[in-house]
Amino acid sequence: FFQKTLTAVKNWFTLFGWSKGQNPISIPYSLRRDVCKVQMTSSQEKVFKQNLGKDTKTVYDMLFHLSGQLLPGIPSSQSLPLDPVERMLQLHWQHSTLLAFLKSQGAYLPHVMPEFLLEPDDYKRWIKVQTVLKVGDLKNSDIFSAKHLFILEDSIFETMSKRAWTDVLLQVYKVFVLPRVSSRNITDLFSLESVQNMPRIKSEPLSSNIYSPYERTILTWLNKHYEKNRKTVWKDCQKGEVPPMRWIVNFDRDLLDGLVLAAQLAAYCPYLIATHFVRMYTNPRTPEQFLHNCLILVNAMHAVSLAIDVKV
């Protein structure tokens, strides 16, 4: 599940996270590596300026594109100190600033430490520096009250770093992309007679501790189009009767059989009904039938050239 989530996040931000078209990313490797537009070494300063100055896209460029805001104290183009320890300390401060900025916008990242966003070598330098500071505190004080220090093995750190960067991107999506979902017509979504008797998805901010108001708006949209279109899409279905009414309350289990998403696509591309959706199982029970439906849905997306890298 986590790997599928990571792949989905990587694909979305590769396609839509940047101002000038696609920019392939790898999590966490390219995000950790491309932290500054200008990186300098004493012997190759001009080379690095020429190679990385214009083409390198950083996480700060992505945030500026999605939010329209620059992080406080971090210019759009800068250099890192030549000294490895000073460079690590500056990067740690930058990551702390990044996390503080996202939290101020509503992101939930209490489990992500700035050091988890560093490169492995910089993380080792961070541990070494903090260990020295802690030893000094122990020698100079009878009371040791420094914060906890997480010392991770290489493989565990890589796993933690990958999870941390994935969660950062998910929260970036939550606070800067999902709020663009319009709620202007949410009161009209259940105006049709066929859906008036369905349970409603409450849009109040405190009505759910799982989904945001924008996610619940999407759930309302899914319910509306499924109930409106299910009898139209599958009235002539080849593999069963018209699917029954359902209440869609989550984004995983309720979408597994492909029927809900097919109903959404049919609402905007009704010509796909006869060529694709009539061949779907309307009451799938086996993994093979679920896969059959999802393959038809993916083929339908490809038929209308949706720019989404969907794989089954």
If one compares 146 and 301, the residue with the highest pLDDT of the two is: 301
Number of folded domains that form the chain: 2
Three-class DSSP category at 309: coil
Instruction: Show which of 124, 147, 180 is a domain's final residue.
Output: 180
Question: Distances in Å between the alpha carbon of 199 and those of 1, 207, 209?
Answer: 29, 14, 19
**φ, ψ of residue 281 in degrees (nearest 5):** -75, 125
* Residue 174 sits in the same domain as residue 196: no
> What's the rounded Cα separation, in Å, for the pair 243 and 240?
8
Model confidence band, residue 46 (pLDDT cutoffs 50, 70, 90)? very low
pLDDT of residue 306: 75
If one compares 57 and 208, the residue with the highest pLDDT of the two is: 57
Residue 224 within a domain:
yes
* Residue 72 sits in the same domain as residue 16: yes
pLDDT of residue 197: 58
Instruction: Show which of 161, 180, 199 is a domain's final residue.
Output: 180
Instruction: Show which of 156, 180, 204 is a domain's final residue.
Output: 180
pLDDT of residue 281: 93
* Residue 130 sits in the same domain as residue 206: no
Answer whether residue 137 shows pLDDT above 90.
no
pTM recorded for the entire structure: 0.61
Its domain, for residue 278, covers 183-304
Task: List the alpha helices (DSSP H) in the chain.
Answer: 2-16, 29-33, 45-52, 59-67, 84-104, 120-140, 154-176, 213-233, 259-268, 272-275, 287-303
Question: What is the phi-psi region of residue 70: left when phi exceeds 0, alpha when psi lies from -120 to 50, beta otherwise?
Answer: beta
pLDDT (tens digit, 9 = 90+) per residue, 286-295? 999 999 999 9
Model confidence band, residue 51 (pLDDT cutoffs 50, 70, 90)? very low
Task: Give the CA radius of gyration of the chain.
Answer: 25
If one compares 82 and 181, the residue with the highest pLDDT of the two is: 82
